[in-house]
Amino acid sequence: MAIDGLIILDPAGRPIIQSSYTTYPAAYPLLHIEALNNALAKAPREGSVDPVIYVGELSCSSACCHVEVGGMRFVATISGDADPLIAFAFLDAFTEILQDYFGVVSVATLKDNFDIVYQLLEETLDSSGHPLTTSPNALSDIVLSPSLISKLLASVSPATPGVPSARQGGSFGSNGASGAFTSPIPWRKAGVRHNHNEILFDVVEEMRGIVGKNGTTLVSNVFGKIESNAKLSGTPDLTLTFTNPNVLTECAFHPCVRLQKWIRDNALSFVPPEGRFILADYQYKPPQSALVSNVPIPLSLKANMDMGEFGGTFALTLTSRLIKVMENLELKFYLGEDATSAQCTLSSAGSSVGSVGSADGSWSFNSRTKTLRWEILNMRSSGSWILRGSWTSKIKAPRPAHAFQISFEIPSYSFSSLKVDQLRLSSETYKMYKGVRMRSKGSIEWRW
Amino acid sequence: MSIRAPRKGENYELSVDLNSEYRDKRKDAIKRVIASMTVGKDVSGLFPDVLKNMQTDDLEQKKLVYLYLMNYAKTQPELVILAVNTFVKDSEDPNPLVRALAIRTMGCLRAEKIIDYLCDPLQRALRDDNPYVRKTAALCVAKLYDLKPELVIENGFLDQLRDMISDSNPMVVANTVAALTDIHISATSNQPSDSTSDPAVFSITSAILNKLLIALNECSEWGRVAILNALARYDAQDDKESEHICERVVPQFQHVNGSVVLAAMKVIMIHIRNVRRDDLVKQLIRKMAPPLVTLLSSPPEVQWVALRNINLLLQKRSDLLANEMRVFFCKYNDPLYVKIEKLDIMVRLASDSNVDALLSELKEYSSEVDVDFVRKSIKAIGQTAISIESAAERCVNVLLELINTRVSYVVQEAVVVMKDIFRKYPSTYEGVIPTLCANLEELDEPEAKTSLIWIIGEYADKIDNADELLGIFVDSFTEESYQVQLQTLTAVVKLFLKKPDSSQGVVQRVLNTATKDCDSPDVRDRAYIYWRLLSTDPGAAKAVVLAHRPPISIPRTTVSPALLEELLGEISSLASVYHKPAQTFVGHGRVGADSVQRKGLEISDAQKALQTVVAGQQAENLLDFGDDSTQDGQPSGLAATQILPSTPAAANFLSGTSANPLDDLVSIFGGMETMETSAGSLSTALSPTMTSLSSPFEGFGGPPALPSQPRQNAQPEEDLLGLF
C-alpha cells in the first residue's frame, strides 16, 4: 500500500503543487502527468476517462488515481499493488483539509497559500506512501490556518498554548503543540476550553432515484448523513438517542461512536472531535420493506414529448406531492449533440397563491453543453408548473437524452422522519447548547 | 561548492534577502525560493544561503527550509552535510514537533552521507516519551531499511519495532505495523541477493495477532488499513482462530471510510475459507452486502473501484447481492466506466425473479445516445438470454423491437447477439430470421455481416431466398473483409449441401472467386479444402460442414477459479481492480515469475490449472462475446485493457508457467476437437492432436485453423466454427 505522492494540476494540466518524490527519478511525476493529460485529451467527453490510469513506462509500473476538484485535477500516484481506494480516500480527506483551511479550493487560493499546502502535504502523506495525520483536530495544531482571525485568536486564547508562542518567535512550548498526540483519544484534542459550549447536528438526507417511462419508481434510495459541529470543552461524553432509531439502517460511524452501545441500545454514545465531522452515514429504508423498498418520490413530472424532424416540442408539467416547500428545483434535459437552440414558455396552474411571476421559474439553454435547464426557486405544495417549448437540431432525427435530471432541496424535512429524542452529556458539568436541523435533497432521473 | 549566481537577476535578489538582518524579510525570501522551486526554476545555487536560515525558532520557517533541503539533497549531497549538525540538534529539541520533524526529514533526504548520523537520533526517537515522535520514528526505520538494511539490523531497530507493536498508543502500533510490513516486503523480494537478512522480518504470531486486533478499533482509518492488511497475511492456526478474526474484523464494515471497508472485506474473504460454521459464513456474507451498496453512494471514482471489487466477489459468492440488482441500475449521468461495470454486475445478478426488470432496463439503455454503452447493453441482453433459458423468448422479443428502430449500430449489434442466441437454442427462433434478413442492407460492420451470413447458411433450408441473399455477398466478395469472405464461403457451401439443386451456380462462383481473385491465403486455402471435399466425397463434406455443434454457455467467471481465489485475497488492491494477478503488472520487486509457478503447483496440479485456464479461454473465444473485459480489445475504456493490451490474464498465466508447447496447441485444436467428437468436452483437450489425426479430415481441418492463432487474443474470431 503506497501512495507515492500527490500532484495538483491546474485546469490546463500543468502542475501547481506536487509532493517531493525524493525516492523516484525526476521523470516519475512528469510521466504520470503526461499519461493523465493524454488520457484526458483523448476522452471523447467528460467522465469517460478511467479514474485509475495505468502508467507502465518505467521499470516500476504504477498508476495514477485522479479526481476533479474545483476545476483542478488532484492526482495521487500509486505504485505496486496498492489499493486505489486508499488513494481516493486520501484525496478526499486532503481536499476536505484544504477546504477547512482555505474555505474555497481554487487555483488562486492554492497558489497564494502554497507554503501551507506544502506543510499540509508533508504532515498528511509520508514519503514512504503512508497517509499520516488527516484528522483536522490534530492538524490544526501543527499547521496553522492562514486566516487572520485564527492567528489573532491563537495569540490570545489560552486554548492552544505552545503554537502561538512559536508564532511570536519565542521558544516552543513543549506541552501544548503536542496536545493532539498525547491526547488519550486520538481524534480529540486534549484540554479544549470554550466559554460557550454548543453542539449542532445537521441531518442531511439525499434521495437518489430513477423513475421509469410509465411513471413508476424503479429505484429510490435515501442516503443520510448526520453532520455535526461540536464546540465543547473538556472531554464530553455524549449519548444521542432517537425516538425512531429503526429508520436508520446500514449505518457507518465515525470512529468515535461506540459500536457496542449502538448494537445493544440503539443509542449513539461518543466523545466527539472538535469542530466539524460526520457522525454517521446511514440508509433509510421504509418499514414496509418488501422485496422492492422504494421511498416515494416527492414530486411528479408529466412529459409530453413530440419528436419531429430537425427538432421537437415538449410540454413538461411538474407537480409537488409534498406539503413542504421545495427549493432550488432544477430540471436538466440534454438535447443531443446536434441541438442548436431552444425556445420555451413558462406557466403555472392551479396555484393557490395565485400570482405567477417570473420569480417562479426561469429557463435557459446552454449551447455548449446542449442542455436545457429549468429552475424553480420555490415550489409550493399545490399547483403545477408547466414548461412548454421546442428545440431545433442540425440533424434530421435528433437524439436527445431519454431522461430528465431533476434535483431539489427540501429544508426542514427528512424522508425518514428521524427524530432526536435526547442528547445527554456526562463526564462534564457545564450546560451546552444543542441544535438539530433537518435538510433533504434529491436527484431524480425521470425517463420518458 | 556550487557556482555562485551572477550579481544580478532574481536569484541574486533572493540571496540578498536570505541574508537580510530582518527576520520577516528572510522568511519571505524563503517562501519565494520555494515558490520558484515549485515552478521548476533552478534555485539550487541558493543552497548555502537557505541553509543559514535553518536554525530558527519559527517552526513554519524551519519546515520550509527542510522542504528545500529535501528537494535538493539528491542533487547536492555534499552540501547536505552542512545541515547535519542542525538536524542532530533539532532531534533533541524540547518541542516534540521539532524532534519529529527532524527525524522525518532526515529519513527523506536519502543522502548516503547523512545516514550515518541518523542512527543515534533515531535510536532516541524510538524511545521518545511522545507518541508523535515515536510513530514518526517507526516509519523512518522503514526508510532507512530501504537505503541501508544492514544499518537497521546492526542497530537492532527491527527488534525495537517488534517491541513497539505492544505500544500503548494505537497510532504508534499502526505505524509500526506499516513500517514492518514495508520492510518485510522489501526483504522478501530481495531475498536471493541479500541472504544476510532474515526473510521473515515480520511474521505474525498469535500474540501479535491479539495486539493488532485490540489496536484495530482505536486508530485512525489509515492505521486500520495497515493493520487489516497485516491481518490478511496471517495464517490462522485453526478454524476457531479464523472465526475469531472474522468476528473481530466485521465491525470495521461500519467505518465511514471505504478503504477500511474494503480492506476488512479482504481479511474476511481470506479467513472465511477456514470458517467451518455454516451459520457464521452465512452471517458474514449477509453483512458484506450493505457496506458494498453504501459504497455506491460515493463519488464515481470510488464507485468504480467498488464495482470492480464487487464484480470479483460475485464470481465467488453469487448470492452476495441477490436482491440488490436495482441498486446497480445505470443513471444517464453516470460516467461510462461506471455504467459498464454496473451492466456487467446486473447481468451477473440476473435470475428468474428479476429478469423482467433487467430486460426493461437494458431496453432503456439501448435507446441512449452513447454508442459504446448501447452496444454493451445489447450484448447484455444476449448474455441474459443465454444464461436464463426461461427468459430467452422475452430477450428475443426485445431484440426484435430494437431491430425495428432501424438505428444502424443497434441493428448490427442485435444481429450479432441473435447469432449467439441461435447457437444456444438451435432451431427455436426461426421466425425471427425474415426480420433479420430484411435489414441486410443496413449492415456495414464485418462482425454483423458475418453473423447474418452465418445465420443464413445455418438455416439455408428454411430460408426460401437464401441463394439470393448470399448471392449479394458473393457479388461483392472481393470487396469484403476476410472474415466476411470466410463466412460467405462457408455459408454458401452449407447452402449447397442443403439445397444442391438451386445453388450449384452460386457455389461454383464463390469457389472460383475465392481461389482465383482473393489475395488472402486463408480464404484461398479454405476454398480449396471445400472444393476438394465437395468433389471427392460430398458425404464427408456434409459430416464436416454440417456437423452438430455443442451449445454454447456463458462462463460465470471472467477469470479461472485458481486465479479468482488469488485475486480474492487481493481485494482492495490494484490487482482486484484490474482482475489480474499483481505480478503481471507490478513485476518489479515483489513476486517473481518462479513464485507464480510455485503458486500454481500449490493450488493444484499445474497441468490441471492450465487446462482450466485454456479451456476457459477457449470457451470464451468460441463464444464470440466481445463484451468480456479481460478478453477483447474494444475501446471500452476499461483499465483492464490498458494494462496488457491483448494479453488476457489466462494467457499470462499460461506463459508464466507453461513449459509444454503442447498446451499452446491445445488452445488451437481444442475447438476442432469439440466439433469432431461433438462431445463438447474440453477437459480432454490435452490429447487433441491424436484425436485429430484419427479423423479422416485432419488434413483439411488443420491448416485453416492455424492462421487464427495470432488473432486469437485480439478479437474473437468466428472462422474456427464457421468452417464447420
- Average of pLDDT values for B9-31? 80
- Average of pLDDT values for B601-616? 42
Instruction: List Cα–Cα distances, A2 to A80, A82, A159, B305, B582, in angstroms.
Output: 7, 6, 36, 17, 14
Chain A nearest-CA residue for B254: A252
Could you say which of A63, A167, A186 has the minimum Cβ distance to residue B219? A186
CA distance B240 to B610: 34
Tell me, letter by letter, the H, E, C secondary structure of B594-648. Answer: HHHHHHHHHHCCHHHHHHHHHHHHHHHHHHCCCCCCCCCCCCCCCHHHHHCCCCC
Residues of chain B with pLDDT > 90, as a percent, come to 8
What is the second-level CATH architecture of the domain A5-146? 2-Layer Sandwich (3.30)
A172 and B572 within 8 Å at the Cβ level: the answer is no
Q: How many CB atoms lie within 10 A of CB A427?
A: 10
Tell me the chain A residues in contact with residue B64 when contact means C-beta distances shorter than 8 Å. 115, 118
Any chain B CB within 8 A of the CB of A305?
no
Note the ipTM here.
Answer: 0.84
Taking the CA of residue B212 and the nearest CA in chain A, the distance in Å comes to 17
Structural contact between residues B477 and B510, judged by C-beta atoms closer than 8 angstroms: yes
Instruction: List Cα–Cα distances, A114 to A13, A18, A108, B300, B608, in angstroms.
Output: 18, 10, 10, 28, 58
- Which of A53, A68, A79, A83 is most worth mutating to test chain B (most B CB atoms within 10 A of its CB)? A83
**pLDDT value at B712 more than 90:** no
Residues 426-445 of B with CB under 8 A from A: none
**pLDDT value at A158 more than 50:** no
B23 and A254 within 8 Å at the Cβ level: the answer is no
B587 and A61 within 8 Å at the Cβ level: the answer is yes
Residues 103-122 of A with CB under 8 A from B: 114-115, 118-119, 122
- Average of pLDDT values for A372-379? 88
A85 and B67 within 8 Å at the Cβ level: the answer is no
Q: Which residue has the higher pLDDT, B42 or A412?
A: A412
Any chain B CB within 8 A of the CB of A310?
no
For helices B561-568 and B300-316, what crossing angle results, to 10°? 130
pLDDT in tens, B687-703: 333 333 333 333 333 33
Residues 6 or more apart from B702 whose CB is under 8 A from it?
Answer: B692
pLDDT in tens, B511-521: 988 888 888 88
Tell me the chain B residues in contact with residue A250 when contact means C-beta distances shorter than 8 Å. 290-291, 293-294
Residue ranges covered by each domain of chain B: 447-535
**pLDDT value at B656 more than 70:** no
Whether this prediction's pTM lies above 0.90 is answered by no
Could you say which of A18, A83, A182 has the minimum Cβ distance to residue B259? A83
Q: Which residue has the higher pLDDT, B554 or B362?
A: B362
Taking the CA of residue B581 and the nearest CA in chain A, the distance in Å comes to 9
Tell me the chain B residues in contact with residue A182 when contact means C-beta distances shorter than 8 Å. 130-132
Q: Which residue has the higher pLDDT, B695 or A359?
A: A359
Q: CA nearest B345: which of B300, B387, B313, B302? A: B313
**pLDDT value at B6 more than 70:** no
Give the pLDDT score at B396.
92
B258 and A336 within 8 Å at the Cβ level: the answer is no
Give the pLDDT score at A204.
94
Structural contact between residues A195 and A430, judged by C-beta atoms closer than 8 angstroms: no
Any chain A CB within 8 A of the CB of B360?
yes
Band of residue B662 on the pLDDT scale cut at 50, 70, 90: very low
Give the pLDDT score at B577.
72
Give the pLDDT score at A148.
45
**pLDDT value at B193 more than 70:** no
- Average of pLDDT values for A330-344? 87
Write the DSSP symbol of residue B441.
Answer: G
Could you say which of B59, B333, B585 has the minimum Cβ distance to residue A61? B585
Backbone angles phi, psi at B184, to 5 degrees: -60, -45
DSSP string, A223-267: EEEEEEEEE--S--EEEEEES-GGGEEEEEE-TTB-HHHHHHHSE
Give the pLDDT score at A157.
45
Q: CA nearest B271: which of B227, B237, B303? A: B237
Any chain B CB within 8 A of the CB of A211?
no
Give the pLDDT score at A436.
92
Give the pLDDT score at B582.
64
Taking the CA of residue A19 and the nearest CA in chain B, the distance in Å comes to 10
pLDDT in tens, A38-77: 888 887 666 678 888 887 765 566 788 888 888 888 998 8
**pLDDT value at B70 more than 90:** no
What is the second-level CATH architecture of the domain A198-294+415-447? Sandwich (2.60)
Cell of B24: 520577516
Give the pLDDT score at A182.
58
Tell me the chain A residues in contact with residue B587 when contact means C-beta distances shorter than 8 Å. 61
Q: Say which amino acid occupies A249.
A: T
Band of residue B71 on the pLDDT scale cut at 50, 70, 90: confident
Tell me the chain B residues in contact with residue A144 when contact means C-beta distances shorter than 8 Å. 60
The chain-wide mean pLDDT, for chain A, equals 81
**pLDDT value at B76 more than 90:** no
Q: Which residue has the higher pLDDT, B683 or B43?
A: B43
Any chain B CB within 8 A of the CB of A50?
yes
Tell me the chain B residues in contact with residue A399 when contact means C-beta distances shorter than 8 Å. 369
Give the pLDDT score at A350.
57
Give the pLDDT score at A201.
93
**pLDDT value at B25 more than 70:** yes
pLDDT in tens, B96-146: 888 988 888 888 877 777 788 888 889 889 998 888 899 889 989 988 888
Q: Say which amino acid occupies B499.
A: K
- Average of pLDDT values for B468-491? 88
Q: How many CA atoms lie within 13 A of B568 on its CB side?
A: 21
Chain A nearest-CA residue for B572: A83
- Average of pLDDT values for B475-500? 89
pLDDT in tens, B142-169: 888 888 888 888 888 888 888 898 888 8
Taking the CA of residue A383 and the nearest CA in chain B, the distance in Å comes to 29
The listed range with the strongest mean pLDDT (B461-465, B551-555, B637-641) is B461-465
CA distance B200 to B235: 14
- Average of pLDDT values for B271-278? 87
Tell me the chain B residues in contact with residue A16 when contact means C-beta distances shorter than 8 Å. 38
- Which of B134, B256, B292, B329 is most worth mutating to test chain A (most A CB atoms within 10 A of its CB)? B256
The listed range with the strongest mean pLDDT (A83-87, B14-18, B666-670) is A83-87
Burial of B425 (0-12, 13-18, 19+ CB in 10 A): middle
Chain B nearest-CA residue for A23: B110
B262 and A186 within 8 Å at the Cβ level: the answer is no
**pLDDT value at B330 more than 80:** yes
**pLDDT value at B584 more than 60:** yes
Q: Which residue has the higher pLDDT, A294 or B242?
A: B242
Least confident span in A144-158, A159-173, A189-203, A243-257: A159-173
- Average of pLDDT values for B182-194? 70
Give the pLDDT score at B50.
84
Any chain A CB within 8 A of the CB of B258?
yes
Band of residue A407 on the pLDDT scale cut at 50, 70, 90: very high
Exposure class string for B591-601: b at 16+ Cβ within 10 A, else e: beeeebeebbe
Task: Give ∠ CA A285-A287-A293 in degrees, rounded to 5.
Answer: 50
Taking the CA of residue A306 and the nearest CA in chain B, the distance in Å comes to 16
Least confident span in A397-401, B76-80, B625-629: B625-629
Give the pLDDT score at A444.
92
Q: How many CB atoms lie within 10 A of CB A44?
A: 12
Band of residue A155 on the pLDDT scale cut at 50, 70, 90: low
> According to CATH, where is 2.60.40.1170 located in chain A?
198-294+415-447, 299-411
Chain B nearest-CA residue for A135: B220
Could you say which of A119, A292, A334 has the minimum Cβ distance to residue B326? A292
> According to CATH, where is 3.30.450.60 located in chain A?
5-146
pLDDT in tens, B46-69: 888 888 888 887 888 888 888 888
Place of cell 409530453: A304
**pLDDT value at B437 more than 60:** yes
Give the pLDDT score at B593.
36
Give the pLDDT score at B444.
86
Any chain A CB within 8 A of the CB of B326?
yes
**pLDDT value at B658 more than 60:** no
Taking the CA of residue B603 and the nearest CA in chain A, the distance in Å comes to 21
Any chain A CB within 8 A of the CB of B409?
no
Any chain B CB within 8 A of the CB of A395?
no
Chain B nearest-CA residue for A112: B35
The chain-wide mean pLDDT, for chain B, equals 75
B642 and A17 within 8 Å at the Cβ level: the answer is no
Exposure class string for B388-413: b at 16+ Cβ within 10 A, else e: beebbebbbebbbebbeeebebbbbb
Least confident span in A317-331, A354-368, B329-343, B630-644: B630-644
CA distance B610 to B603: 11
Structural contact between residues A4 and A79, judged by C-beta atoms closer than 8 angstroms: yes
Provide the CATH number for the domain formed by A299-411 in this structure.
2.60.40.1170
A84 and B335 within 8 Å at the Cβ level: the answer is no
Exposure class string for A359-397: b at 16+ Cβ within 10 A, else e: ebbebebeeeebbbbbebeebbeebbbbbebebbbeeee
B222 and A132 within 8 Å at the Cβ level: the answer is yes
Place of cell 547536492: B76
Residues 154-183 of A with CB under 8 A from B: 162, 166-167, 169-174, 177-178, 180-182
**pLDDT value at A179 more than 60:** no
Taking the CA of residue A90 and the nearest CA in chain B, the distance in Å comes to 9
What are A305's strand-pairing partners?
A314
- Average of pLDDT values for A13-30? 79
Any chain A CB within 8 A of the CB of B263?
yes
**pLDDT value at A100 more than 80:** yes
Handedness of CA A349, A353, A357, A360 (dihedral sign): negative
Residues 6 or more apart from A248 whose CB is under 8 A from it?
Answer: A224, A242, A280, A282, A284, A416, A418
Q: CA nearest B578: which of B670, B504, B649? A: B649
Any chain B CB within 8 A of the CB of A57?
no
Tell me the chain A residues in contact with residue B401 when contact means C-beta distances shorter than 8 Å. none
A114 and B38 within 8 Å at the Cβ level: the answer is yes
CA distance A346 to A303: 14
A22 and B360 within 8 Å at the Cβ level: the answer is no
